[in-house]
Copies of this chain bind each other. A is one copy, B any other.
Amino acid sequence: MPATASSHEPYELYYWPSIPGRGELVRLALEDSDTPYVDVAREPHGMAALQKLLRGGAAPRPFAPPFLKYGELVLAQTAAILYWLGPRVGLVGSSEAERAHAHQHQLTIADLIDEAHDVHHPIASSLYYDDQKPEAARRAADFVKERLPKYFAYFEDALVANGGGRLVGSAISYADLSLVHLHEGLTYAFPNAMDRLVSRIPHVCALADTVRARSRLAAYLASPRRLPFDERGIFRHYPELDP
């Protein structure tokens, strides 16, 4: 739920304004829980505010976006933000074991996100994709053959082991939202590889349908606040990497 920059709502999300990226995982939790927040870098002068905090307006300063500001607290690292935010917005169970396991899943999701990024940037983030295409093609071949099936078999198993519908506990957690986003991003980037997987991950697909049908999330996904995937972000569709 958006708040205006002039409001006194407490949550401020800082992330690059033109890509969904890792910031989207925090945004989904805020939107699904109807939590008022300011998406700072998409407001006027917001990028200057983001850059200021990156240069050291808080201790410890963030290494990179996303980061969340709440009063005096500035917290970076997507999984750390979600661990902190989850209980406050009702997106994780109350037991310590549930919180630890949602966190465990979030970090495994983060690992696959990192690997998905490095498929198109296996040599250096500072270079363009065009400067590392042969290496990307080699990495993509392994990614779609080995890594993608291994991770999704794992998440499918995790859903089944927990009764079929959720990663942890009995209610949707932030880890479920992140898994659905990961599934969506990889389906955008590697439609052929994901099509070959789909029959083996029915519970992941059912979770995606359930999550996207949640009323607040459906409204968000249909709004201009939702940024599309494109070839500047983490999940990129290069047909030559998905034969």
Interface residues of A (CB under 8 A from B): 56, 59-63, 73, 75-77, 79-80, 83-84, 96-97, 100-101, 103-105, 107-108, 111, 114, 118, 122-124, 126-127, 132, 135, 138-139, 142, 146, 151, 154, 157-158, 161-162, 167-168
Do A101 and B75 form a contact, CB below 8 Å, given A56-B161, A157-B56, A157-B61?
Answer: yes
Inter-chain contact B142/A59, CB cutoff 8 Å: no
Q: Given contacts A73-B100, A83-B83, A83-B103, could you give 13 more A-B pairs where the C-beta distance is less than 8 Å?
A: A59-B161, A60-B101, A60-B161, A61-B157, A63-B151, A63-B154, A73-B97, A79-B79, A80-B100, A122-B122, A123-B139, A124-B142, A132-B138
7 smallest A-B Cβ distances: which pairs?
Answer: A124-B142, A77-B107, A59-B161, A80-B103, A60-B158, A80-B104, A77-B104
Q: Check B104 against A162 for contact (C-beta < 8 Å).
A: no
- Pair B154/A142 contact, Cβ less than 8 Å: no
Q: For residue A76, which residue of chain B has the nearest CB?
A: B104
The residue of chain B having its C-beta at the shortest distance from the C-beta of A163 within the complex is B59
Contact of B108 with A77 in the complex, beta carbons under 8 Å: yes
- A161 vs B57: C-alpha distance in the bound complex, in angstroms? 11
- A61, B158: Cβ atoms closer than 8 Å: yes
Query: Could you tell me the distance between the alpha carbons of A133 and B139 in the complex, rounded to whole angstroms?
Result: 13
Residues of B within 8 A of A63 (CB): 108, 111, 151, 154
Q: Which residues of B contact A61 (CB under 8 A)?
A: 157-158, 161
Partner of A100, one of B75, B103, B118, B138: B75
A60: chain B residues at CB < 8 Å are 101, 104-105, 158, 161-162, 167-168
A139 x B122 contact (CB < 8 A): yes
Task: Report how far A150 CA is from B114 CA in the complex, Å.
Answer: 19
A55 → chain B, closest Cβ, in Å? 10
Bound Cα distance from A101 to B63, whole angstroms: 12
| CB within 8 Å for A146 and B126 given contacts A108-B77, A154-B63 | yes
Contacts of A96 in B (CB 8 A): 84
Q: List the B side residues contacting A124 at CB < 8 Å.
A: 138-139, 142, 146
Q: How far is the CA of A59 from the CA of B166 in the complex (A)?
A: 12
Closest Cβ of chain B to A116, distance in Å, is 13
A146 and B234 alpha carbons, distance in the complex (Å): 20
Listed A/B pairs (28) with beta-carbon separation below 8 Å = A56-B161, A59-B161, A60-B101, A60-B105, A60-B158, A61-B158, A62-B104, A63-B108, A63-B111, A63-B154, A73-B97, A73-B100, A77-B104, A77-B108, A79-B79, A80-B103, A80-B104, A83-B103, A84-B96, A84-B100, A114-B114, A118-B122, A122-B135, A123-B142, A124-B146, A126-B142, A132-B138, A135-B138
